[in-house]
Amino acid sequence: MSPSPTLDASGRVPLTWRRGISTFGIGVIGFMAANLVPFMIIALVDGHSLTPTAAGTVMTACLLSTAVGCLLTSRWSARSGRYVVARGGLFLAAAGFGAAALVPVTPVAIAAIILGGLGGGGAISASGAALAALRNPNRMSGISGLANRAIVTVVLALIPLFGTGMLSAFGILALLALAFVLTSGWMPAAAAAPDATSASGPTVGADVGQSPAVPRKAPLLVTIAGFSLLSCFGLWALGEDSLWAVAGSMGAEQTGISDADMGLMLSISTAGGLVFGAIASYLGDRLGRTVPLLVLLLLGGGLKLAAGLVNDPGTYMLVIIAWNTVYALAFMYVVSVAVALDVRGFWSAALSGTYLIGSAFSPLFGTFIAETLGYVPLTAILSGFSFLLLVPFLVISRVAARVEKEGAAVSAPDSSDAAQFNQAAIV
């Protein structure tokens, strides 16, 4: 019997406008609070008279809540509940951030922000699982990163136009969450695992069905690879975002960079991520996954070390721009590894949760090491994160490549069916 023209051999479906808008957009909304942290801290300080430290603590609690929401719902999203998780998460995010924008009572606003973060975690989980159902993991993770940067750039530009207050910082996010509820039904449905004994994640129930996406051999190896990926990604996030947390103060103290130059540097960094994200999306899997990841991790480690050693403002700006661009590309490739590990999306659903845990603690870690030891030791430590995590990342990438290859081989159609696949392929 010929396979469905919309499915490839692993059970993944091609990208369409509806699937893309829903899958990528919902993921961006889930992450939006993390991207708006600087504005949200200012809004809390001005709107509720909190100290910067107290406002930062509130946002750390929000991000940790997002991570918890993502991890708690990742298994459900990987099965048959991603639509419920997405809608529930977006509604909760809209309610929480909407209340924070409108209610002037400080304890209520803080509780609402944390609840909004929890809802964002559900949106991230559902989007991450849906990403695994789309054909060509490398290309899809590239487009996902591209969409994230594009939408965040627009929102970051809009908020100052309305004034950096509670209504703009939190209200815009609440409205976006409500808008994307309408698109949640467009996400691709959960693909199926082969059987309960060969699932790459926790035990899969009978409702999942059958699919060749995960090889029947050595499921324990895939499970170990998946949990190792989650752990490594959390540590990598701590190392990357710790540099981001101190980039401004380090630039000011070491090179005398001005606030205007810092703004220009961040804008160019975003543009670099957009350009190279587009390139990564176009290349898809032509360069593979392991070699690009190796190169990016080595470059990232070297650039982090260089950031602590340069004293010229122009050179510092170039180093930070280059590092932020490399970081964005490495992020996309790690996501593609998680997507390739399991067509149902368990690992890609949980991945962002572990990232947010590392990211939430990065300001505290970065500022503590910088104040205690100095900026040069800090950048040496952070570059060590990239070099130490290099080996496990590459081993996991190879496991993911084998999973993907074996999954396609198990149910590869005969020559006539293959021709139908090729004719039907869109992405």
Provide the greatest CA pair distance for the chain: 69
> What is the C-alpha to C-alpha distance for residues 217 and 223, in angstroms, rounded to an integer?
12
Residues 228, 142 within the same domain: no
Q: What is the pLDDT of residue 52?
A: 74
Residues 224, 355 within the same domain: yes
Residues 46, 137 within the same domain: yes
What pLDDT digit, counting tens, does each position of 222-236 carry? 889 999 999 999 999
Residues 223, 99 within the same domain: no
Q: What is the pLDDT of residue 267?
A: 61
> What is the C-alpha to C-alpha distance for residues 239 and 236, in angstroms, rounded to an integer?
5
Residues 262, 180 within the same domain: no
Residues 308, 366 within the same domain: yes
Q: What is the pLDDT of residue 40?
A: 85
Instruction: Indicate whether 12 belongs to any domain.
Output: no
> Any residues with CB less than 8 A from the CB of 91 and at least 6 apart, and which?
119, 177, 178, 181
Q: CB neighbours (10 Å) of residue 34? A: 23
Decide: helix, strand or coil at residue 279. helix
Q: What is the pLDDT of residue 278?
A: 64
Instruction: Indicate whether 250 belongs to any domain.
Output: yes
Instruction: Indicate whether 408 belongs to any domain.
Output: yes
Parent domain of 255: 219-415
Among the candidates 189, 209, 233, a domain finishes at 189
Report, in angstroms and rounded to the nearest whole number, the Rg of the chain calculated over CA atoms: 21
Q: What angle do CA 378, 383, 389 make, to 5 degrees?
A: 130
Instruction: Indicate whether 163 belongs to any domain.
Output: yes
Low-confidence ranges of the chain (pLDDT < 50): 1-5, 7, 9, 194-218, 411, 413-427
> What is the C-alpha to C-alpha distance for residues 146 and 179, in angstroms, rounded to an integer?
20
Share of the chain above pLDDT 90, in %: 28
Contact 352, 70 (CB under 8 A): yes
Instruction: Indicate whether 228 belongs to any domain.
Output: yes
Q: What is the pLDDT of residue 71?
A: 87
Q: Which two tokens stand for residue 204?
A: 């899969």
Residues 151, 232 within the same domain: no
Residues 229, 360 within the same domain: yes
Output 72-75 pairs: Cβ under 8 A, ≥24 positions apart.
72/121, 73/121, 73/122, 73/125, 73/126, 73/349, 74/125, 74/128, 74/129, 74/346, 74/349, 74/350, 74/353, 75/201, 75/202, 75/346, 75/349
Among the candidates 151, 172, 189, a domain finishes at 189
Residues 137, 57 within the same domain: yes
Residues 381, 234 within the same domain: yes
Instruction: Indicate whether 425 belongs to any domain.
Output: no
Q: What is the pLDDT of residue 194?
A: 44
Q: What is the pLDDT of residue 38?
A: 72
What pLDDT digit, counting tens, does each position of 363-398 carry? 778 878 888 898 999 999 999 999 999 999 999 998
Among the candidates 141, 171, 189, a domain finishes at 189
**CA 271 to each of CA 214, 241, 263, 411: distance values in angstroms, whole numbers, following the listed order:** 37, 18, 13, 41
Instruction: Indicate whether 10 belongs to any domain.
Output: no
> What is the C-alpha to C-alpha distance for residues 29 and 9, in angstroms, rounded to an integer?
31
Residues 245, 382 within the same domain: yes
pTM: 0.69
Residues 272, 374 within the same domain: yes
Q: Which amino acid does the sequence have at 347?
A: W
Q: What is the pLDDT of residue 177?
A: 94
What is the tally of structural domains in the chain? 2
Instruction: Indicate whether 200 belongs to any domain.
Output: no
Q: Output the domain CATH number for residue 78.
A: 1.20.1250.20
